[in-house]
Amino acid sequence: MIRETYEPRNIYARYAAQAKRTYLHRKRPTRPLDQLTWPNLRRAIEIFLRTAWRVGICGDYRKEFWKMTRRELRHGNVESVFQIAMVAHHLITFGRECLTRDVQASAYSARGRDFSSSYGVIIVP
């Protein structure tokens, strides 16, 4: 179930449906150009370049990333490109860690968590 749920193709398909159905109804800033400052533009370019490098060039799911990027930019949804790319990357990474490491798949699962590396204590149910 985790493998299929966190498969890049499936995650990007879910975000495509979200972008089509719900993102159109998000509240927009009243004066969006007020946010267009040189520091904000520089930061956006840096974030996009890092994301494009890590996911769009080095990532094994680059095809899904660029398909989403083209689709969202075609519709003028620049903000969605950033949001979808970062959250999708997090979810894909998390899903893979669940399958390959001994990590807790949920904060609500019954198995105890080992916080010894972070807090110096071990929590066991």
Side-chain-side CA neighbours of residue 90 (13 Å): 5
Residue 24 has pLDDT above 90, yes or no: no
Residue 110 has pLDDT above 90, yes or no: no
For the chain, what is the largest distance between any 2 Cα atoms, rounded to a whole number of angstroms?
52
Residue 103 has pLDDT above 70, yes or no: yes
Q: Can you tell me the mean pLDDT for 74-101? A: 91
d(CA 122, CA 115): 5
pTM: 0.76
Residue 10 has pLDDT above 90, yes or no: yes
d(CA 29, CA 115): 41
d(CA 66, CA 110): 38
Q: How confident is the model at residue 123 (pLDDT cuts 50, 70, 90)?
A: very low
Q: What is the pLDDT of residue 112?
A: 53
